[in-house]
Homo-oligomer: A and B are copies of this chain.
Amino acid sequence: MAIPATDWNINEEIREIFATYLEKNKQRKTPERFAILEEIYKRDDHFDAETLYQHLKEKEYNVSRATVYNTLDLLESCELVTKHQFGNNATHQYEKAYRYKQHDHMICLNCGQVLEFCDPRIQQIQSKIGDLLNFEISHHSLVLYGICQKEHCPYMQNEQAKEINN
């Protein structure tokens, strides 16, 4: 039942970062905001706002959708959360960002699984194109779409894949 020390420390660290951010920006430290932050860092996958809202509702905390969206914006601003736009559907995907090294995504059009990968060349491309076209590049989004060749990838397995496929 003991919580691993590392988990605890990370949670403390994150709460601290968020608290400092809120103070600096003269925003209130409400319990709802910290509950949302905690729930996000408990999860390990990519998620959307509605899913997060449902998970919170099922548990202890009764927060409204408006608060979820508001808090996600705040967490994005202080870089504790990253917001993604995968596929062509309207729904945004989010993921925790703290201490996760920068990476890009590859998505299976059949089963909807999201894989993460790194390639240093993308940084090179970023600086080269920025210099070339006289841009100060702040960030990028690279998504590879394809079909995973593993046998455990049944066609149209889940809703997420359908949405990504449109």
Chain A residues near B (Cβ < 8 Å): 73, 83, 85, 87-88, 90, 92, 106, 108-109, 115, 117, 119, 121-122, 124-126, 128-130, 132-150, 166
Contact = CB atoms under 8 A, between A and B. Distances in A.
A68 to B, nearest CB: 16
Contacts of A85: 85, 87-88
A146 B130 contact: yes
B144 A132 contact: no
A141 B107 CA distance: 11
Nearest to A143: B141
Assembly stoichiometry (copies)? 2
Contacts of A147: 135-136, 138
A122 to B, nearest CB: 6
B145 A140 contact: yes
A87 B87 CA distance: 13
Given A92-B88, A119-B125, A141 B140 contact: no
A87 B139 CA distance: 11
A74 to B, nearest CB: 13
A148 to B, nearest CB: 5
Contacts of A122: 121-122, 125, 142
7 contacts: A83-B88, A88-B92, A119-B125, A121-B121, A121-B125, A130-B144, A135-B144
